[in-house]
Amino acid sequence: MNETGPESDADCTQVVLRLFEYVDNEAAEEDGRRIREHLDACGSCLREYERDLLLKQLVKRACNREAAPAALRTQIIARISSITVTTQLATDDGA
């Protein structure tokens, strides 16, 4: 955390809580800019960011080794489609 006072600690807490959004490129443009500026100024938060980035890369590498069998993927897609259709029908009937 920054060593410049309690206000900076609050900034660090907010940045660390939102790092997952930033790492996944899901932060709003303005939020992403603020987080980047904070990371540029705060070595502690930058290290936390680098750790999160490394963890994401490790998980991606570990999960990309095996693909789900084609039959399983087909079953999952069919279930998702049936859930979507069922939900839409229930909504249409209730309106």
State the residue range of the domain holding 57. 6-78
SS3 state at 65: coil
Specify the pLDDT at position 90: 58
Query: Mean pLDDT for the chain?
Result: 83
Task: Classify residue 94: in a domain, yes or no.
Answer: no
20 is a domain residue: yes
Structure token pair of residue 32: 């992403």
Confirm whether 88 is domain-assigned: no
Assigned domain for 50 exists: yes
16 in any annotated domain: yes
Q: What is the pTM of this model?
A: 0.59
Looking at residue 94, its pLDDT comes to: 57
Asked whether residue 37 is domain-assigned, the answer is yes
For residue 61 the two structure tokens come to 């590498």
- One-letter identity of residue 24: D
Residue 2, pLDDT score: 45
Q: Give the burial string for 70-79 (b: 16+ CB within 10 Å, else e).
A: eeeeeeeeee
The total number of structural domains that make up the chain: 1
Question: pLDDT tens digits, the chain, 95 residues: what are they?
Answer: 544 554 567 799 999 999 999 999 999 999 999 999 999 999 999 999 999 999 999 988 887 767 788 999 899 988 887 775 555 555 565 55
Q: Specify if 60 maps to a domain.
A: yes
pLDDT at 18: 94
The reply to whether 84 falls in a domain is no
